[in-house]
Amino acid sequence: MSKEPVGSVAEEAAKLFAVLQDAAGAHPVEEDKHEHKLGPDCVWCPVCQLIHRVRNTSPETIEQLSSAAAHVLGSLRSLLEAAADAARQAREDAASRPKTSAHPEEEPAPPKVDRIDVSEDPEPWD
């Protein structure tokens, strides 16, 4: 264990990534599990392409992308909280309404749709 001072989260993440990268390079993957070229020559595997893109991307770009992702996740969280509040309010409203039973002697409510005659003959019964 080294006595290095603890850095920022980004510095510590970079150190962890470097250690993991070194560990992955020390134990090459068997050819039968990885069915294409290993290393930067791989243009088929989406995992290798993603790793290549991340390695060649500037730290500023990664910072901007992570900031944008945080904003998207925050918006998604707000949306889900609003949906949960609306569902909770609907349940409370349904629970607070008095339960009414339909009486057979009551007339049914009038339809909410008005039928409009659009025929050309103003008096079709003549």
11 pLDDT band, cuts 50/70/90, is confident
Cα–Cα distance between 49 and 70 in angstroms, integer? 23
Burial 28-67 (b: 16+ CB within 10 A, else e): eeeeeeeeeeeeeebeeeeebeebbeeeeeeeeeeeeeee
Scan for tokens 């080294």, then name that residue.
Answer: 2
Does pLDDT of 90 surpass 70? Answer: yes
Cα–Cα distance between 117 and 36 in angstroms, integer? 71
Low-confidence winner among 8-12, 92-96, 114-118 (lowest mean pLDDT): 114-118
Residues 59-66 have a mean pLDDT of 88
Which H or E run includes 61? helix 59-96
Q: How many CA atoms lie within 13 A of 101 on its CB side?
A: 2
